[in-house]
C-alpha cells in the first residue's frame, strides 16, 4: 500500500496556481497589517518611555474645568520626598501664520515650560526664558513654515497681538491634542500674561534621592488633596500611549477586518479548487480504494496536498506582506500629513517585523487552506471502490443534488435571511453610534451567509436566462451559459466570492455618500449664508463665551459686494421644571431627562426678520410669529422635549440681575433651523444681559456681486481683526468631500484586494472547468469549434459569474450600506451614489473577460487526441 500511495500521480502545479495566488494575496494583507500596526505601536511605546524618564510623578486636575491652585506648587516643593517641582500653565492663544491669518481652525494650546522638573524639552534650539521668547510645537512650525530665530505673532486672551522670537521647537510626540491644535510654549510669567489662565494644568516632580516614584506620587496626592489626580511618570507615559494608541488599534482593527474578508474570499477559492480536483480524481481515488487504501489514507492525501500548497503559498504571502508594509511605512514617513491619519509620531516610523506577525501570517494561510480543504477531503473518503467503473454516472451528481435539495436550500436561506433582517432591525432601532453599526454589520454578514445555500439555484436560474439571451451570439456563447449550470456549486463559490467583495465596496460607498450628504445638510442648516465670521476657535455653529469685535457688522455692510449681514447671538439657557401648561416644557422636559439644571441652546438674530431674512420650513406654526415672549423650536429639539405650538417653556438665564425664569410660548416648530430655541432679541437680552457682542455673523453677497468679490470683501474686513475666522459653507463642504473621497479611495484599495482574489477565483473556476471538460472540449474542436468560439464560450461563462456576483453584492451592499448609515448618525440623509455603483457593475465586464483569458489559452491547447486519453488537459 505504501508503494501504491507513493506512485500516485501528483496534480500538476498549474492546477494550483490560482489557489496559491489567492492565498498569497490574503496572507500578504494580514502580514502587512500586523507589521504596519507593530511599527506604529513601537514608535508610540518608545516616545512614552522617553517621556516617563523625565519625571517621577505627575499631578493633573481631577476636574479639567478647575486647574490646580497656584499655591499648591509651593506646598509640593516643601515636601521632603520631592527634589524639584514645576507647574505648567495651560491655556490657549491664536497663532498667526506669515500672512497674519489664524493658523488652523482652533486656537493653539499655550503652555509654560522650564525648571528642573519640566517634562518638555526642546528638540531643536532651547526653551524660552525671556518675556519676548516662545517655542513652537514641531507640527505648528512645519504647518506655518517657521524656524528657530523667526518672529511669530500670537493673539492673547484679550485680543491683543504679541510678537515673539522663536527660540526652539518642541516635539510633543504622543499628545493628540497638540497634533490637532498645535502649541506655543512660553516662560511661566509670559504664559499667564498671554492666556489669562489661573493655577496650573499640571504639576510634575522629580523625587528626592532614594525616594521611589510611588512614594513621591503618594506625597504629591496628600499635598494637593482631592482636586488632583496623581500618577507616577511611568503610569503617565502608559496612559498617554494608550490614548494615542486608540487610533493605532482602530486602524489596525479595521485593516485586520479587511484582511479577514480577503482570507474568507480566498478560502472560497481554495475550497472550490480542491472540490473539483477531488471530483476529477474520483477514478484514481476509487482505484486506490480497490487496492486497499483506507478512508483515512485518502483523507490524509488530500489534506497533505492542501498543507503543502498552503505552507508554500503562505510563506510567499508573508514575504510579500513584509515588503508591502515596509514600503508603506517608508511612504507614510515621507508624507507630511501622516500624523493627521495615523497619529503623532507617524513621520518617524521605523519598520518593525516581529516574530508574531510572521507566525500569524503563516498560520492564517495554512489554517485557511486546511479549513477549505476539509470538506473536499471528506467527500473523497465517500468514494466507493467501484466508482472507477461508473465515473460517467456521477458526472452530474452536483446538478442532481442541487435539484433534489432545492427546497432545503431555500428553507436554509430563508431562515438566515430572517435572522439577518431581525438583527439589522435591532441595529437601526438602537441609539446611533458604533455599537449600532456593529450590529448592522453583523446582520450583513448573516445576509451574505444566506446567499451561500441558495447560490447554486441562482446560478442555474441565471444560466437559463443567459442561455436564452445569448442565443443570438451563436452556439458557443450558449454553451458557456450551459456550462455554468452543469456545476452550479462550483460556479456558486466564485459568485459568492465576488459578491462579498462587491458588497463591501458598495456598502462603504453608500455609507460614505450618506455621511457626506448628512454633513452637507447640517452645514446648510448651521450656515444659511455664503460666509460666516466667528471668533477664532469657536466654530460656525458652537455656542461659547467668545464674541466678535464690536462694529464688525457695520464694517461689512459698508462694502458694495456685501448684500446682507445677519448678527447671531448664542448661549445656553437653563430649562425650568414642572408639568406642562403654565410651567416647564409641556411635560416633555422630564420625559427627555432634562429636569432642573438641564440646558438648551438658545439663539437670537438681532435686526433680522425671521421668515424673511432667515427662512426655513416649519413643521407647525410660522417663524414670523416669533416675538417677545414667543419662541421657535427646532424640530429635533421639539421632539426631544415634547414641545408643540402653543406649549410653554420656562427658561433661566445668567448674569447679575437676570430673572430666575422667563415663561415663553412656542410659536413655531422649525425644520432645518439651529438646534434648540430661537428667541426674540429682547428676550435674549433679558436672559443674558452680560452677553454683549455677536457670536457670529452670517454674510450673503449682493445679487450683482461676483463670488470672488464677495470673498475678497469679507476677507479684507476680517484681516483687520486677527481673532476672527472666515468660513464658507461651500468651502467646508468641498473640504469634507475631499476628505471622504480620500478615505474612500484608501478603503476601496484595501477592499480591492478581496475583489482581486475573487476575480482570481473566477479564473480558477474556469480553469477547473477546462480541466474537468477536457474530453468535451476535444470533441467540440473535432466537430469544428474554432479557438475564437472556444474563447467566446469561456468568456460567456466568466461574464455570467462576474455579473451575477457583482449584482448580488451590489444589491446587498446597497441595502446594508443604507442601514449602516442610518445606524451611524442621527437624522441621516440617505444617498446612493448611482454613478459609483454603476461603475462597479460595469467593471464586471472587463474583469470577467480578463479572468477568461488564461483558461481560454489552456483550452485552446487541448488536442483532439485527448478524446482517447483519460481526461485531457491543456499542455
The string of DSSP letters for 203-221 reads EEEEEPTT--HHHHHHHHH
Position 301 confidence tier, pLDDT thresholds 50, 70, 90: confident
* pLDDT value of residue 624: 86
Residue 221 has pLDDT above 80, yes or no: yes
Residue 54 is given by DSSP the state T
Residue 627 has pLDDT above 80, yes or no: yes
* pLDDT value of residue 527: 60
Q: What is the mean pLDDT of residues 382-386?
A: 67
Q: Which residues pair with 133 in a beta bridge?
A: 165
Cα–Cα distance list, 473 to 762, 787, 792, 859 (Å): 22, 15, 9, 20
Q: What is the mean pLDDT of residues 361-379?
A: 82
* pLDDT value of residue 283: 63
* pLDDT value of residue 236: 80
- Report pLDDT digits (tens) over 723-781: 787 776 655 555 555 555 555 555 566 566 666 766 776 776 667 666 666 667 777 66
- Asked whether 646 and 580 are in contact (CB, 8 A), the reply is no
Distance CA 420, CA 412 (A): 12
Position 500 confidence tier, pLDDT thresholds 50, 70, 90: confident
Q: What is the mean pLDDT of residues 533-540?
A: 62
Choose from 5-19, 564-578, 736-750 the range with maximum mean pLDDT: 564-578
* pLDDT value of residue 190: 93
* pLDDT value of residue 205: 92
Question: E strands along 655-730, which residues?
Answer: 662-670, 677-679, 696-701, 724-728
Q: Which residues pair with 338 in a beta bridge?
A: none
Position 153 confidence tier, pLDDT thresholds 50, 70, 90: very high
- Asked whether 220 and 76 are in contact (CB, 8 A), the reply is yes
Q: What is the mean pLDDT of residues 288-310?
A: 81
- Report pLDDT digits (tens) over 468-492: 766 666 666 667 667 666 667 767 7
One DSSP character per residue, 322-345 reads: HHHHHHHHHHHHH-TTHHHHH-TT
* pLDDT value of residue 418: 92
- Asked whether 388 and 287 are in contact (CB, 8 A), the reply is yes
Give the residue with greater pLDDT, 257 vs 353: 353
SS3 (DSSP) at 84 = strand
Of the listed ranges 281-290, 381-390, 433-442, the one predicted with least confidence: 381-390
Give the residue with greater pLDDT, 1 vs 667: 667
Cα–Cα distance list, 19 to 309, 365, 647, 674, 844 (Å): 8, 11, 69, 57, 21
Q: What is the mean pLDDT of residues 356-360?
A: 85
Q: What angle do CA 488, 490, 493 make, to 5 degrees?
A: 105
Residue 797 has pLDDT above 80, yes or no: no
- Asked whether 138 and 123 are in contact (CB, 8 A), the reply is yes
Distance CA 114, CA 120 (A): 8
Residue 58 has pLDDT above 50, yes or no: yes
Give the residue with greater pLDDT, 210 vs 825: 210
- Asked whether 267 and 375 are in contact (CB, 8 A), the reply is no
Residue 96 is given by DSSP the state B
Residue 61 has, within 13 A of its CA and on its CB side, a CA count of 16
Residue 74 has pLDDT above 60, yes or no: yes
- Report pLDDT digits (tens) over 81-95: 999 999 999 998 888
What is the pTM assigned to this prediction?
A: 0.57
* pLDDT value of residue 720: 80
Exposed/middle/buried for 63, CB within 10 Å: 0-12, 13-18, 19+?
exposed
* pLDDT value of residue 313: 87
Using only C-alpha atoms, what is the Rg of the chain?
35
Distance CA 535, CA 634 (A): 24
Grid cell, residue 256, equals 485586520
Q: What is the mean pLDDT of residues 141-159?
A: 87
* pLDDT value of residue 7: 36
The H or E element containing residue 240 is helix 233-280
- Report pLDDT digits (tens) over 666-715: 999 987 677 789 999 988 888 888 777 888 888 888 888 887 788 888 88
Residue 828 has pLDDT above 70, yes or no: yes
Give the residue with greater pLDDT, 847 vs 170: 170
- Those residues whose C-beta lies under 8 Å from the C-beta of residue 776, and which sit 6 or more positions away, are none
Give the residue with greater pLDDT, 641 vs 434: 641
Mean pLDDT score of the chain, rounded to an integer? 75
* pLDDT value of residue 216: 92
* pLDDT value of residue 398: 46
- Asked whether 122 and 113 are in contact (CB, 8 A), the reply is no
- Asked whether 594 and 641 are in contact (CB, 8 A), the reply is yes
- Asked whether 652 and 702 are in contact (CB, 8 A), the reply is no
* pLDDT value of residue 383: 67
> Residues of the chain with pLDDT > 90: what percent?
12
- Those residues whose C-beta lies under 8 Å from the C-beta of residue 200, and which sit 6 or more positions away, are 67, 68, 69, 70, 72, 73, 87, 88, 89, 90
Amino acid at each position: 500500500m505504501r508503494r501504491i500511495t507513493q506512485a500516485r500521480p501528483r496534480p500538476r502545479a498549474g492546477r494550483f496556481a490560482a489557489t496559491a495566488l489567492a492565498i498569497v494575496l490574503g496572507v500578504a494583507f494580514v502580514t502587512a497589517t500586523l507589521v504596519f500596526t507593530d511599527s506604529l505601536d513601537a514608535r508610540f511605546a518608545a516616545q512614552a518611555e522617553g517621556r516617563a524618564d523625565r519625571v517621577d510623578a505627575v499631578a493633573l486636575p481631577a476636574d479639567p474645568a478647575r486647574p490646580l491652585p497656584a499655591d499648591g506648587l509651593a506646598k509640593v516643593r516643601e515636601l521632603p520626598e520631592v527634589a524639584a517641582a514645576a507647574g505648567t500653565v495651560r491655556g490657549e492663544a491664536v497663532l498667526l501664520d506669515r500672512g497674519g491669518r489664524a493658523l488652523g481652525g482652533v486656537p493653539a494650546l499655550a503652555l509654560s515650560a522650564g525648571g528642573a522638573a519640566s517634562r518638555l524639552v526642546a528638540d531643536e534650539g532651547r526653551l524660552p526664558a525671556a518675556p519676548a521668547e516662545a517655542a513652537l510645537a514641531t507640527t505648528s512650525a512645519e504647518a506655518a513654515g517657521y524656524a528657530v530665530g523667526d518672529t511669530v505673532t500670537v493673539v492673547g486672551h484679550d485680543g491683543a497681538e504679541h510678537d515673539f522670537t522663536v527660540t526652539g521647537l518642541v516635539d510633543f510626540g504622543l499628545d493628540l491634542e497638540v497634533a490637532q491644535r498645535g502649541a506655543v510654549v512660553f516662560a511661566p510669567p509670559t504664559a499667564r500674561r498671554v492666556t489669562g489662565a489661573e493655577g496650573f494644568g499640571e504639576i510634575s516632580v522629580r523625587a528626592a534621592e532614594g525616594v521611589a516614584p510611588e512614594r513621591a506620587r503618594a506625597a504629591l496626592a496628600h499635598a494637593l488633596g482631592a482636586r488632583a489626580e496623581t500618577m507616577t511618570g511611568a503610569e503617565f507615559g502608559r496612559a498617554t500611549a494608550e490614548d494615542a494608541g486608540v487610533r493605532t488599534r482602530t486602524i489596525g482593527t479595521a485593516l485586520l477586518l479587511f484582511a479577514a474578508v480577503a482570507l474568507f474570499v480566498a478560502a472560497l477559492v481554495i475550497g472550490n479548487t480542491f472540490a473539483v480536483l477531488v471530483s476529477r480524481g474520483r477514478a484514481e481515488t476509487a482505484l486506490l480504494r480497490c487496492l486497499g487504501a483506507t478512508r483515512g489514507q485518502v483523507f490524509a492525501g488530500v489534506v497533505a496536498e492542501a498543507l503543502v500548497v498552503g505552507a508554500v503559498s503562505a510563506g510567499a504571502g508573508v514575504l510579500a506582506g513584509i515588503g508591502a508594509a515596509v514600503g508603506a511605512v517608508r511612504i507614510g514617513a515621507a508624507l507630511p500629513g501622516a500624523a493627521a491619519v495615523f497619529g503623532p509620531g507617524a513621520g518617524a516610523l521605523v519598520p518593525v517585523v516581529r516574530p508574531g506577525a510572521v507566525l500569524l501570517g503563516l498560520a492564517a494561510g495554512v489554517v485557511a487552506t486546511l479549513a477549505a480543504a476539509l470538506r473536499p477531503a471528506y467527500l473523497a473518503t465517500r468514494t466507493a471502490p467501484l466508482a472507477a467503473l461508473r465515473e460517467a454516472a456521477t458526472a452530474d451528481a452536483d446538478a442532481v443534488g442541487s435539484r433534489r435539495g432545492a427546497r432545503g436550500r431555500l428553507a436554509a436561506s430563508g431562515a438566515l435571511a430572517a435572522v439577518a433582517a431581525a438583527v439589522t432591525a435591532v441595529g437601526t432601532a438602537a441609539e446611533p453610534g458604533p455599537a449600532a453599526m456593529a450590529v448592522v454589520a453583523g446582520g450583513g454578514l448573516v445576509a451574505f451567509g444566506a446567499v451561500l445555500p441558495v447560490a447554486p439555484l441562482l446560478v442555474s436560474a441565471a444560466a437559463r436566462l443567459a442561455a436564452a439571451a445569448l442565443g443570438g451570439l451563436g452556439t458557443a456563447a450558449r454553451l458557456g451559459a450551459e456550462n455554468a449550470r452543469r456545476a452550479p456549486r462550483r460556479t456558486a463559490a466564485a459568485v459568492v466570492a465576488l459578491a462579498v467583495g462587491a458588497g463591501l465596496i458598495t456598502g462603504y460607498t453608500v455609507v460614505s455618500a450618506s455621511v457626506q450628504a448628512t454633513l452637507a445638510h447640517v452645514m446648510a442648516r448651521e450656515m444659511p449664508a455664503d460666509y460666516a465670521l466667528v471668533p477664532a476657535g469657536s466654530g460656525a455653529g458652537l455656542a461659547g463665551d467668545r464674541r466678535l469685535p464690536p462694529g464688525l457688522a457695520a464694517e461689512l455692510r459698508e462694502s458694495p459686494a456685501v448684500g446682507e449681514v445677519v448678527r447671531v447671538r448664542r448661549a445656553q439657557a437653563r430649562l425650568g421644571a414642572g408639568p406642562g401648561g403654565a410651567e416647564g416644557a409641556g411635560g416633555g422636559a422630564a420625559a427627555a431627562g432634562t429636569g432642573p439644571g438641564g440646558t438648551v441652546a438658545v439663539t437670537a438674530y438681532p435686526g433680522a426678520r425671521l421668515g424673511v431674512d432667515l427662512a426655513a420650513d416649519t413643521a407647525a406654526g410660522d417663524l414670523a410669529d416669533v416675538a417677545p415672549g414667543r419662541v421657535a423650536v427646532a424640530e429635533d429639539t421639539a421632539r426631544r422635549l415634547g414641545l408643540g405650538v402653543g406649549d410653554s417653556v420656562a427658561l433661566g438665564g445668567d448674569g447679575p440681575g437676570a430673572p430666575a425664569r422667563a415663561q415663553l410660548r412656542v410659536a413655531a416648530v422649525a425644520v432645518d433651523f439651529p438646534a434648540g430655541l430661537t428667541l426674540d432679541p429682547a428676550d435674549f437680552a433679558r436672559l443674558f444681559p452680560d452677553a454683549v457682542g455677536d457670536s457670529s455673523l452670517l454674510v450673503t453677497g449682493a445679487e450683482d456681486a461676483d463670488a470672488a468679490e464677495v470673498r475678497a470683501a469679507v476677507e479684507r474686513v476680517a484681516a483687520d481683526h486677527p481673532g476672527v475666522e472666515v468660513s464658507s459653507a461651500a468651502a467646508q463642504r468641498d473640504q469634507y468631500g475631499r476628505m471622504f473621497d480620500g478615505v474612500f479611495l484608501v478603503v476601496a484599495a484595501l477592499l480591492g484586494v478581496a475583489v482581486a482574489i475573487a476575480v482570481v477565483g473566477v479564473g480558477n473556476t474556469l480553469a477547473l472547468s477546462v480541466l474537468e471538460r477536457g474530453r468535451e472540449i476535444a470533441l467540440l474542436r473535432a466537430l469544428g469549434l474554432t479557438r475564437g468560439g472556444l474563447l467566446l464560450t469561456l468568456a460567456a461563462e466568466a461574464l455570467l459569474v462576474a455579473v451575477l456576483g457583482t449584482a448580488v453584492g451590489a444589491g446587498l451592499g446597497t441595502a446594508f450600506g443604507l442601514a449602516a448609515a442610518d445606524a451611524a448618525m442621527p437624522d441621516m440623509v440617505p444617498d446612493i451614489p448611482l454613478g459609483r455603483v454603476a461603475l462597479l457593475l460595469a467593471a464586471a465586464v472587463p474583469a470577467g473577460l480578463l479572468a477568461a483569458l488564461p483558461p481560454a489559452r489552456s483550452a485552446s491547447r487541448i488536442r483532439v487526441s485527448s478524446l482517447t486519453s483519460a481526461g485531457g488537459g491543456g499542455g
